Amino acid sequence: MTEENNRQSPESVDRPTKILKLSTSDEQDSERTTRMAQNPKGIQRYLVAIEYIGTKFSGAQQQAPHCRTVVGVLQSAFHKFIGQPVSIFCSSRTDAGVHALSNVCHVDVERISKRKPGEVLPPHEPSVVKKAVNHFLQRNEGDIMITDVRCVAADFHARYKAQERTYFYRLLSGPESLSTFEKDRAWHVPEELDLSAMQKACKVLEGLHDFSSFRASGCQAKSPIRNLDELNVIEVCPSPYFPSTKERETQNLMGESCGNSNQNKTEWSIGESSLGFGMRRRHRCFVVTARARSFLYHQVRFLVGAIKSVGTGDLTVSDVERILEAKSVTANGPMAPACGLYLAHVKYDLP
């Protein structure tokens, strides 16, 4: 179960004999069958990595017909590629407005000859699938793309085989209004953020805990116990990043880049000391990283909400300890908005 997906029942690990959408009962029967079967000729299960900007999506999971979803757009592109409907299952069902640097899904494809209807052909190579489906995706909004494709066994499930998930959350701190380039890509916090205090709050929340205070009321997970393998916050270069005049001069002299020069940290945040007309003052950019096998519904966003409040001084580290021990979401404050959340990576044990 993942950060954005615990309101709904889990997808079944199905592999239909033909590429058709199945009912829930059919999916459960198919799951038991496919665990004992190998991929038959012509049908291949592909593991597909995707990236997307979540702003214009109503979420990853298929919903009502009029809702634009990640799964819906992908299924449409695959349909145009192979001429048949397919069912796609995601590792993490992100909510509306949440982005993905790398979400993963699986799909079963039966390759049927277009010249001789009914003739089953050998499966497509992964590179062919990637190129062809991306062609149709780019005819859409251009806000989703396949980044990798791999052939996997018939019983490999993108969600249940996942060993670990990593989320990033971006916060931009500073009184300046948010840049057009950052719209819906980060949480803008006008106040200054205390990095040291936020890091201390992360240490309190890291590890094995009852996270009842950090899950939404609609969460259907059986247990609120989760093990946060990693929870930290660091300050990074603002993005998109363009060097100031002073930074260009410094780097030309010293050969230093943004990534290895500590003395430029202040410049990332405030820009040049004397800004010319039309030049923007930069925000400070902070990234919270949360890594675990699975997350409760909205857990990461509740964690970030508390961490941010410590950074602004609205909460103390002791307050965070109290909220955690309360084991009730009513003890917590509001969660962070969806726009700053990114599913960064889903880890598998692949050959």
Contacts made by residues 178-183, CB under 8 angstroms, sequence distance 24+: 178/283, 179/280, 181/240, 182/283
Token pair in block for residue 220: 């259907």
The answer to whether residues 58 and 47 touch, using CB atoms and an 8 Å cutoff, is no
Active site amino acids: 95
Nearest by Cα to 350 from 89, 127, 49, 122 = 49
**Residue ranges in 102-148 assigned as alpha helix (H):** 126-137
Q: Cα separation of 235 and 275, whole Å?
A: 23
Residue 287: φ, ψ to 5°: -125, 120
Cα 23 vs. chain centroid, distance in angstroms?
28
Contacts with 23 (C-beta within 8 Å, 6 or more apart), sequence order: none
